[in-house]
Amino acid sequence: EVQPGGEGPEGLGSRSPQAADPRGHQAFVTLTTNDAYAKGALVLGSSLKQHRTTRKLVVLATPQVSDSMRRALETIFDEVIMVDVLDSGDSAHLTLMKRPELGVTLTKLHCWSLTQYSKCVFMDADTLVLTNIDDLFEREELSAAPDPGWPDCFNSGVFVYQPSVETYNQLLRLASEQGSFDGGDQGLLNTFFSSWATTDIRKHLPFIYNLSSTSVYSYLPAFKAFGASAKVVHFLGRVKPWNYTYDAQTKSVKSESHDPTMTHPEFLHLWWDIFTTTVLPLLQQYGLVKDTCSYLHVEHVSGAVSHMSLGESPATPQPFVSSEERKERWEQGQADYLGADSFDNIKRKLDTYLQ
């Protein structure tokens, strides 16, 4: 089968409606394995719509995503596709990255099975678009931007690819036979598409298509020179936008939770702006947030950790969560990093055992 955008110029001597107008057969794809990352997916989907993409929006979701959240996703995405979790279980490599939770990112591989689309752009749920990026569909598999931590590898938070059952099966085979050098999808994909670094410069997306918030700090002059043309921001790293406390009145991210290495505040504010204006009303509609008096404490019923305070914030007691419930959330990757499951709390607990 000849794929549009493959051999020859598009539109010339078109053989099928698909070749004449491939847009309906192209999609932006993201992934969420729980309700916390789903908030990121909703913000990403909203930002793509806000910048008037002409392509379809697809989210891969696993059974851990709650029913209400799936319904919320359906209002923004054209397709919510249920997939099984693929987990590397490779704690040794994941520990090297200090990201024990990323074994499940192998679930991303399911994106190659979406053969109803001829070409797709995968985007992590922790990315945000700042402008229309439909021009990415002019690129070929596998196009991606360099990883800021090791630029001879591509970062797998944004990539152009072509769904194919054959590729999907080859990737699964590689995962089971050899594993991934980082325990997640990025290691595996860099092994599979190993010619990316050296073969075809057109497959190197400019960094502005995957600007990681942490790199802004490591090369500030470059950010000053080129940051204004950023097209996609990637909140790469352990702390995600939804882990912060946001004050909607002052439109500021609360300083006590602010991690200076994490992001440029403008991008974080933009994420929260889209979250509060577009996503929050949806979550309220689907019963996914609790409203307490004048203090609006945005918290997932299923336990994610974003908070929003409106106006004066009285010392509202945190909702009681049993240790059994906490354990369950932890196992689903929904650790309360800034609260009950913070490093300090864990250390305190360990100390009581050691004594």
The token pair that represents 225 in the structure block: 């020179």
Would you count residue 126 as binding Mn ion (CB under 5 A)? yes
List the interface residues with ligand GLC, window 193-252 (CB under 6 A).
236
Question: Shortest approach of ligand UDP to residue 101 CB, angstroms?
Answer: 5
Residues 55 and 100 sit within 8 Å (Cβ to Cβ)? no
Q: How far is the CB of 352 from ligand UDP (least distance, A)?
A: 29
Q: Which of 26, 33, 167, 190 binds ligand UDP (CB under 6 A)?
A: 33
- Taking the C-alpha atoms of residue 190 and residue 98, their distance in angstroms, rounded to an integer, is 19
- State yes or no: residue 40 binds ligand GLC (CB under 6 A): no
Report 101-140 residues binding ligand GLC (CB under 6 A). Answer: 102, 105, 124
Backbone angles phi, psi at 329, to 5 degrees: -65, -40
- By CB under 6 A, name the one of 26, 32, 215, 306 that touches ligand UDP: 32
- Answer for which of 133, 236, 248, 298 binds ligand UDP (CB under 6 A) is 236
Per-residue three-class SS string for 76-102: HCCEEEECCCCCCCCHHHHHHCCCHHH
Give the nearer residue to ligand GLC in terms of CB position, either 182 or 336: 182
Nearer to ligand GLC, 213 or 309 (CB): 213
**Is 191 exposed, middle or buried, given 0-12, 13-18 or 19+ CB atoms closer than 10 A?**
middle
Strands (E) across 83-198 are located at 119-123, 127-129, 143-147, 150-161
214 near 155, Cβ under 8 Å?
no
Instruction: Specify the residue, 35 or 182, whose C-beta has the smaller distance to ligand GLC.
Output: 182
When asked if residue 185 is in the footprint of ligand GLC (CB under 6 A), the reply is yes
Structure tokens at 325: 């419930």
Distance CA 90, CA 105 (A): 12
Asked if 22 and 5 touch (Cβ cutoff 8 Å), the reply is yes
Q: Pick one of 157, 183, 241, 303: the residue that binds Mn ion (CB under 5 A).
A: 157
- Tell me, by CB under 5 A, how many residues bind Mn ion: 3
Q: For ligand UDP, which stretch binds (CB under 6 A), given 3-11, 31-39, 146-154, 248-256?
A: 31-39
Pairing assessment for the beta strands 307-309 and 150-161 based on DSSP bridges = unpaired
DSSP 4: T
For ligand UDP, give the closer residue by CB, 124 or 299.
124
Measured from the CB atom, the residue of 19 and 58 that comes closer to ligand UDP is: 58
Applying the rule CB under 6 A, the residues between 134 and 163 that interact with ligand GLC are: 155-157
Give the number of other CB atoms < 10 A from CB of residue 95. 11
Report d(CA 18, CA 5) in Å as an integer. Answer: 11
Minimum distance between the CB of residue 252 and Mn ion, rounded to whole angstroms? 24
Contact of residue 182 among Mn ion, ligand UDP, ligand GLC, none (CB under 5-8 Å per partner type) = ligand GLC
Nearer to ligand UDP, 141 or 182 (CB): 182
Per CB under 5 A, 124 contacts Mn ion: yes
Query: Which residues make up the interface to ligand UDP (CB under 6 A)?
Result: 30-34, 37, 101-102, 104-105, 124-126, 157, 236-237, 333
